[in-house]
Chain A
Amino acid sequence: MKLSEKAEEILEALWIAVEEGGAAFLDPEKMDFPADDPAYRELTGHAMIEIRQGMIYFRPEGIDEGKMTIRRHRLAERLMMDVLNIRGDDGEFKACQFEHLLNEGADVKVCTMLNHPTTCPHGKPIPPGECCHQARAAGDLGVVPLTEFKSGQEGEIAYIQTEDGKKMQKLMAMGVLPGNRIVLTQAYPSYVFRVGYSEFAIDSNLAKEIFVRK
């Protein structure tokens, strides 16, 4: 089932009003398009909402769909901001367009890539999807910066994320290369790690640019 973009926006607005705002219904006046838009018929046709006295109410079937829609929207926001570095209104606008592409498993991929984020850039919760539950159950930390490791923890270097070429080369010269095993032996006052048979100490600025997989 694929809903139209407008239908998805209605579901989002309704979900925010009802699930987060605590309201019982949503006034269609608050939407950007007229109350007789075909999108409403589409949603009532799928038995997701019902309209009583001109107000929009969820039907039980619609709540889940609304949750997934809002999840896609907030994942899209994070993607714009964290990965593509598009911020502000522009990021918001692009996220609104992008979210509609996040279906048929694309959302799972994005969610995994972003390491199952729990909040959107505005601090609102992102409803967890199936992939998030699985990751949590497997205890899979995914890819985290070295700063998130506990001392004694061992992992594999996933990638280095830095815009400073010199830092990158410095790290690579120390043997910090994707695929190498790394053991964090100490996390305070500096980060001390071992790669192969060498030990290095670095500060947190460098440590947060090394991404490791447990």
Chain B
Amino acid sequence: MATCCTKQTEAPLPGDTRKIALVGNPNVGKSVLFNALTGAYVTVSNYPGTSVEVSRGSATINSQQWEVIDTPGMYSIHTITEEERVAREILLHESPDVVIHVLDARNLERMLAMTIQLIEAGLPVILVVNIMDEAERMGLSIDLKLLQQKLGIPVIGAATARKRGIDEIRAAIHAYRCACDQQRFEYSRLLERDINEVATVMQGEYILSRRALALLLLQQDEEITELVRHREGDAFGPLAEKVREIAFDRRESFHLDLSLERKEMVRRIITGVFTAPEKRVVTIAERLSNLATRPLTGVPMLLIVLYFGLYQFVGVFGAGTVVDFLEGKIFEGLFNPWIIGVVKSIIPWEIIQELFVGEYGIITLGIRYAVGIILPIVATFFIFFSFLEDTGYFPRLALLVDRVFKHFGMTGRAVIPMVLGFGCDTMATMVTRTLETTRERIIATILLSLTIPCSAQLGVIISLLSKFPGALAVWSCCLLLLFIAVGFLSAKILPGEAPMFYMELPPMRLPQLGNVLTKTYTRMQWYFLEILPLFVLASVLLWLGKITGFFEKMVSAMTPVMASIGLPKETAVAFIFGFFRRDYGAAGLYELQNKGLMDARQLTVAAVTLTLFIPCIAQFLIMKKERGWKVAGAIGLFVSLLAYGSGYVLNKALLVTGLLS
């Protein structure tokens, strides 16, 4: 049988890279461990289910090279969600040399069931009992030595967030010699007979043990059935027949029986290992958690979080103070005059000077927008978001809004991409992957691309409209109304089943500054690599457009369209910018307003239309990647028409009512 044991007998060649896979439930600290082992940083979150992509890094332990793979959270080796499937794929096809199962010490009893599954699958498992610090604080005690003895695999206690136990884990990886005993845990006589009957018919070579595969086949796991069908060839017929027979005999309650048997096994294992105090210790975090989840206190708390976090910190501080300083003082006051001087002195041709430091110059426009306006806003938003994420607040917010979101065809889970969308819609569209049904993902994608303004845009628009409080109110009402109307309608129109909501609530904790900052840093890095080229490209295209006169033509071609929603023709420029990035466009409006070209009504109409309009190119590309051409195209068309239509209606409505004039 191709299990770890046969593999381990071959002495590892020096210089030969070996593999470590980190597996475990969501939110047990896998990613933190990954970072500690590899030194690289992937986004680590206190929100179950954000590790949608598999991160890989490398580590050197006692001069041996290791490839470390961080897998998405999984609850069981019998997979249900997309993320779990991805995680299992790695176990199935990459044959890691060491599998580290990370679990939460406080939930040892629940999570050990998966350790058993991994051991019986013949995988080379090391168990890391993580979050020991919080378990100790709750008065739980765990006898790791005894646990190791009972499981027959290396067991290490750790608190990875506090760097506790990392050296021991390294040592255990280095010293690992597989001695796994798949038969260690025996099921009831009846189940053992069933497993045996299936396992003995199998002939192919597999990475997982036949014992584990037999159980998965009996659980009617489609992927495994496919894999076995492929591997067994002609021998699959009788095997399938056997599986069908047993599955039919035990159709009443196979899953439940199996779970109960495993639960009983776990109970035997933890007897003497795990001791809990008589009385539950109620921590301050739990009290806070209660406040966050009851509507009566949770809604005011949300408003406080939004007011201080989003409005004061991101809006007033980030988009106000910092932008004024960076854009106004540094760029306009110091950097631009200097760079213009420099460029003009080394490049004699005016046309090339224009490219770098002209009206739409790469440096004077592209870099200035990116660094002077967008960077501070996005940075403050990501600090806010990462902080909130690490406190464990989001799952609580999700349960608070679940009922409301159900009307829009989504579960409370979708609140996380929605909030993230206020930072960057592109990133948020990627995160919609964590939603369970395709229908829910499509609705979330539509709402994100239509009604959620990203932080950069939000910052610019707020400062743009803040001179006319009425305009800001009209703008927010329009977005809110459209969010509700479109959400409600798509829930009615789009086919598919209603989603179900379930979510683990990780304990609330005070985030560690280091984690928040590194997280913000990685997000910023991603964001910058994504947008800076777009800004530069936009500058180049605009420059090209200007020198060829194409730009002029485009502006005049768009003039009737602009006029139909009551806007001066100069706004066409902003809309063309907006095609590259919405915030770019909004920043363009900002300039127009500074020149005093627009009144309150026009500003509002332009802001609403631009906010609703086609998301930036980057988001469209991600939409295409996540949802496919057809859906992305349809959403794009729908959004454009609705944006224009809303602008038109709003303009007429404002003219008729005389509001804002």
Question: Footprint of B on A, CB under 8 Å?
Answer: 160, 165-175, 177-180, 185-186, 188-190, 192, 195-203, 205-206
Query: Given A172-B256, A189-B400, A192-B505, 20 more contacts at CB 8 Å?
Result: A169-B76, A169-B78, A170-B80, A170-B502, A177-B263, A179-B260, A180-B263, A186-B293, A190-B402, A192-B293, A192-B399, A196-B107, A196-B109, A197-B138, A200-B504, A201-B293, A201-B501, A202-B503, A203-B502, A206-B501
Q: Which residue of B lies closest to A193 (CB)?
A: B505
User: Which secondary structure dominates where chain A touches chain B?
Assistant: mixed
B31 within 8 A of A: no
Closest to A169 in B: B80
Q: Which chain A residues lie closer than 8 Å to B399 at the CB level? A: 189-190, 192, 201
| Chain B residues near A186 (CB-CB < 8 A) | 290, 293-294
Query: Closest residue of chain B to A197, judged by CB?
Result: B106
Once bound together, how far apart are the Cα atoms of A205 and B500, in whole Å?
7
Beta-carbon nearest neighbor of A198 in chain B: B107
With both beta carbons as reference points, the residue of chain A lying nearest to B259 in the complex is identified as: A172
9 A-B pairs with least C-beta separation: A173-B75, A201-B399, A197-B106, A203-B501, A190-B399, A199-B505, A175-B110, A202-B502, A189-B403
| Minimum Cβ distance to chain A for residue B437 (Å) | 11
Contact A167 B500 (CB under 8 A): yes
Shortest C-beta distance, B636 to chain A (Å), equals 32
List of A residues within 8 angstroms of B402 by Cβ: 189-190, 201, 203
Complex Cα gap A68–B498 (Å):
44
What are 14 inter-chain pairs, A to B, with CB distance below 8 A? Answer: A165-B255, A169-B80, A177-B260, A178-B256, A189-B403, A190-B400, A190-B402, A190-B412, A198-B104, A198-B505, A200-B505, A201-B396, A201-B505, A205-B498
Shortest Cβ distance from residue A185 to the other chain B in the assembled complex, whole angstroms:
8
Q: Which residues of A contact B539 (CB under 8 A)?
A: none
* A210 nearest CB across to chain B (Å): 11
Interface size on B, residues (CB 8 A): 40
Q: Is B395's beta carbon under 8 Å from chain A?
A: yes
Interchain CB contact under 8 A, B505 and A168: no
Quick check: is B199 within 8 A (CB to CB) of the other chain? no
A-B contact count (CB 8 A): 106
Q: How far apart are the CA atoms of A160 and B504 in the complex, in Å? A: 19
Q: How far is the CA of A11 from the CA of B290 in the complex (A)?
A: 57
Q: What string of 1s and 0s marks CB contacts (under 8 Å) between B93-106 and chain A?
A: 00000000000101
Residues of B near A169 (CB, < 8 A) are 76, 78, 80, 255
Residues of B within 8 A of A160 (CB): 256
Docked complex Cα distance between A205 and B259 (Å): 22
A residues less than 8 Å from B498 (CB atoms) = 205
**Closest residue to A178 on the B side, CB-wise?**
B260
Q: In the assembled complex, which residues on chain B have CB atoms less than 8 Å from the CB atom of A167?
A: 500
Interface residue? B406 (CB, 8 A): yes
Near A by CB (< 8 A), chain B positions 385-412 give 395-396, 398-403, 406, 411-412
Q: How far is the CB of B138 from chain A (nearest CB, A)?
A: 7
Q: Contact: B406 with A203, CB < 8 Å?
A: yes
- Distance from A145 Cβ to chain B, minimum over Cβ atoms (Å): 15
Q: Is B295's CB under 8 angstroms from A197's CB?
A: no
In Å, the complex CA distance between A170 and B84 comes to: 12
Complex Cα distance, B80 from A171, in Å, reads: 12
Could you tell me the distance between the alpha carbons of A197 and B270 in the complex, rounded to whole angstroms? 15
Complex Cα gap A202–B402 (Å): 9
Q: B78 — nearest CB in chain A belongs to which residue?
A: A169
Q: Name the contact of B500 in the complex, choosing from A165, A185, A192, A203 (C-beta under 8 A).
A: A203
User: Given A196-B107, A201-B502, A203-B501, are A189 and B256 neighbors across the interface (CB < 8 Å)?
Assistant: no
Which residues of B sit under 8 angstroms from A196, Cβ to Cβ? 106-107, 109-110
Residues of B within 8 A of A172 (CB): 255-256, 259
A191 — nearest CB in chain B belongs to which residue?
A: B399
What is the bound-complex CA distance between A170 and B499, given in angstroms?
A: 13
B292 to chain A, nearest CB (A): 11
Contact A203 B411 (CB under 8 A): yes
Q: Does A188 lie within 8 Å of B411, measured CB to CB?
A: no
Question: Can you list, as one digit per residue, whether each of B252-293 has a CB less than 8 Å from chain A (1) or not (0)?
Answer: 000110011001000000000000000000000000011001
**Knowing A179-B263, A189-B399, A192-B399 touch, does A199 contact B502 (C-beta < 8 A)?**
no
Contacts of A198 in B (CB 8 A): 104, 106-107, 110, 504-505
A168 neighbours in B (Cβ, 8 Å): 255-256
**Cα distance A167–B498 in the bound complex, in angstroms:** 13
